Structure 1
Amino acid sequence: MTLVILAAGMGTRYGGLKQLDAISNKNEAIIDFSIYDAVKCGFKKVVFVVRKDFLETIKALYLPKLHNKIKVVFVCQEVTNIPEEFNNSSRVKPWGTAHALLTAKNAVNENFCVINADDFYGANAFLKMAEFLNKTDSSSCEYAMVGFKIQNTLSENGSVSRGECYLDSGKYLKRVVERTNISLINNRIIYSENNQEKEIQKNSLVSMNFWGFTPTIFREMETPFHQFLKENYRTEKEEFYLPSVVNHLLDTQKATVKVLETSSNWLGVTYKKDKAAVISKITELKKDGVYPESLWN
C-alpha cells in the first residue's frame, strides 16, 4: 500500500508553507504524524506531491527522517503539467487536488490512499483505510473515503468549507456536496447557501479529502480532466477537485465508494491562529502515549 500526500498547496489563507510548519517541539509537521500512523498500519511507500520551488527543502527534511522507515518518492505538480493545447501562460495557482493526484500516476501501481499534507486525521482513520485497501482487488473500481463527523472538523478561528456526504443504506457514498462558510454559532452548525443560513446536523459526515483508490482511478480521471481543461484552461482560479471526480464516477456508475466512518477529531491549520490549538492537542496526545516523544528516533 502507498500513501500519497498532496503538499503542493500555496497556503494562501495561512500565509505560508503550512505543510512544513512545525507543530511539536521536535520540529515535526502534521505530515509527520500522518506518515507515522501510515507506517504503523502497514503502508510501504509514501509519494509526496509538491511544487518545484520547495522540492529541495522537503527532500532535505524528509529523506533523513524516513530513511529505512518507508520508501519515499517525490513528484512535482506544476501548472504546466497539462496537455500543451491547454497551456495558460498567466496561470499561477495549481490546478487542484485531482490534478495533483494525476501527477502521481507514474509513481503509484498499487492500492493507495491520498490525503492532504496539512490535515491531521488520527490513527483510526489510517487503520480503517488500510483494512479496506488490503482486501480490495487492485483492478476494481471499488474505492473508499474516510468520513468525519462535521462537529469534529471545525475551526475556532473562522469559517471552513466541507464536503457533506450523502450515503445509501449500505454506507456507500451517493454524493459529496460542497458547503461553504461553515461555523458553529450558538451551538448550531451553520453554513451559507444562496445568501441564506442553513443548518447541518452535528453528526453529519463530511469528506476531509482522505480517499482510498485502486490504480484504476488514474484511467478514470483522464476524460473528466480533459473536459475540465476544455472549459476552464483560460481561468486563473478554477480547480479540478477530487470530490468532483468522485461525484462524476458515481453519477455515471463507474465506481463505488465505501464510507469508512471515524470518530477521530480532525486537526488542521486553515488559519494561522489554528496552530496554537494543534500544538496543544499534539502535546496532549504525546503525553497520553498515543505518539512517542520523538516520532522518528
Structure 2
Amino acid sequence: MNSKKTLLILAGGLGSRYKGLKQIDGILDNGSPILEYSIYDALAAGFNKIVIVINRFIPESYIERLENISANNNFELHWVYQDIDQYVPGSFDHSSREKPWGTGHAVLCAKEYIHEPFVMINADDFYGKEIYQLASNEIDHQKISSSQFELIAYPISTTLSDNGTVARGICTMDTESSLIKVEEQTSIRKENETIIYTDNGKNIEVDPETLVSMNYFVFHPIIFDLLEVYFNNFIKSDPQPNQEFYIPAAVQKMKDEKGIKILVKTSPSQWIGMTYSGDKSILKDYLETEIQNHQYPQDLWNLIALS
C-alpha cells in the first residue's frame, strides 16, 4: 500500500551516561549514526516521512548533512526542537529546569508535523530491519486506530548491556496480547547467567523471554491531543526540577482512563543500544557483519560530498 507513514525519532537527549551526543555519533567510517540506519530501514519498509525531535546542542553541520541525504534520497524530513517552554503555561516558573521534560513531551512537540499513523523510536537504539516491515504492515492493514496502538517489544535477554545496569519497562499482557501494564525497573543486569533487578533491597529474577518496551510504539495521531492534556496536568502537579513526563506512563494512562488498547507484538529483529560508550564497539561489530552479509551498503547513502 502507498499510505503516508511517518517515523518519529526522539533525538533530544543530552547523553549524560554516554558522555556525548550519541544520537549523532558515527558508528563506522561512513559517519552514519544509529538514527541514519533507522531511517534507511524505515524507508526500505515503505515509510516516506521522517520527523526528528532534537535539542539545541545538535550542530548545524549534522542538520545540513541529513538535509543533503533527504534531498538526494527523496524523503520528507522535518526537524523539531524540544524546548523547555513548549506547551508550558506562561505562568509556570521553569527557570530551575535544566533538562528536557522527557519522552512524552518530546512526542508532543511533534504535534504540528504529524497527522497520520506513525512509529516512534529512540535515536540511540538500533532496532533492526524487520521490525520496520512489521510496523509498516500493521499500518497498511489498518491495525492502528484512535482506539488501538501497538508496542513492539523485545525479549529482555536481548536488551542487556555488558557495561552496566539498564532500565527497562517490563510488559504484562492478557491472553490476547493486549498490554495490561508496563512497569519500569532499574538496575537490571545479568549475574551468573541469571537476569535480575533489585527492588526494595531484594533481588528479583526475570525470565529471559519476558518482553520489555524499548520505546518502539506505533501510534495514531490522536495521541497528541491526549498528551497535551496529560502534560498540562503534569505541569499543574508542580513537578520537581528533574522530574520527567515519560511516554510509557502516558500510554498507560490512555489505556486505563480512555480504554485505548495497546497490542503487544514481539520484535523479529535484533536490538542493540548505546547506553554506555563501551556499547559502541558491539554495534560496530554487528554492523560490519551485516555489511559483509549484504544487509547494508558500506556507504549507507552512497553519497560522495557529504559534509
What TM-score range do you get, normalising by the shorter chain?
A: over 0.9
| Residue of structure 2 equivalent to 1:76 | 81
Matched with 1:12 is 16
Q: Displacement, 1:223?
A: 1.9
Q: Which residue of 1 aligns with 2:271?
A: 266
Alignment check: 8 A CA contact 1:10 1:16 kept: yes
Aligned ranges 1:56-71 → 2 under 5 Å? 56-69=60-73, 70-71=75-76
Task: Establish whether residue 91 from structure 1 lines up as the match of residue 103 from structure 2.
Answer: no
Gapped runs of 5+ residues in structure 2?
A: 303-307
> 1:211-238 CA deviation, whole Å, 9 max, x = no partner?
11111001111221111111244x2211
1:268-292 superposed Cα distances (whole Å, 9 cap, x missing partner): 1100111111111111111111112
Query: CA-to-partner distance for each residue in 1:82-122, whole Å, 9 max, x for gaps?
Result: 22122311211100001000000000011101100000000
CA distance in structure 1 between the aligned counterparts of 2:273 and 2:143, rounded to whole angstroms: 32
Equivalent residue number for residue 205 of structure 2: 199
Per the TM alignment, residue 172 of structure 1 is displaced from its structure 2 partner at its CA by: 1.2
- Cα separation, 1, equivalents of 2:143 and 2:37: 28
**Matched position secondary structure for 1:145:** strand
- Matched letter for residue 97 of structure 1: T
Q: Deviations over 1:153-172 (max 9, x none)?
A: 01000000000011111111
Equivalent residue for 2:111, pick from 105, 110, 134? 105
Alignment of 1:271-290 (within 5 A): 271-290=276-295
1:189/1:201 contact within 8 Å kept: yes
| 1:52 corresponds to which of 49, 56, 80 | 56
Equivalent residue for 2:46? 42
Cα distance in 1 between the residues matched to 2:137 and 2:144: 14
- Is 2:136 the counterpart of 1:130? yes
Gap change, CA 1:136 and 1:87, over 3 Å in 2: farther
CA distance in 2 between partners of 1:281 and 1:232 (Å): 44
- The change in CA–CA distance for 1:87 and 1:44 in structure 2 (over 3 A counts) is farther
TM-score, structure 1 length as denominator? Answer: 0.96
TM-score normalised by the chain length of structure 2:
0.93
Per the TM alignment, residue 152 of structure 1 is displaced from its structure 2 partner at its CA by 0.5
Return the offset for 1:44: 0.8
Task: Answer whether contact 2:149 2:218 (CA < 8 A) is retained.
Answer: yes
Percent identity of equivalent pairs: 38
Q: What is the total number of aligned residue pairs between the two structures?
A: 296
Q: Which amino acid aligns with 1:255?
A: I
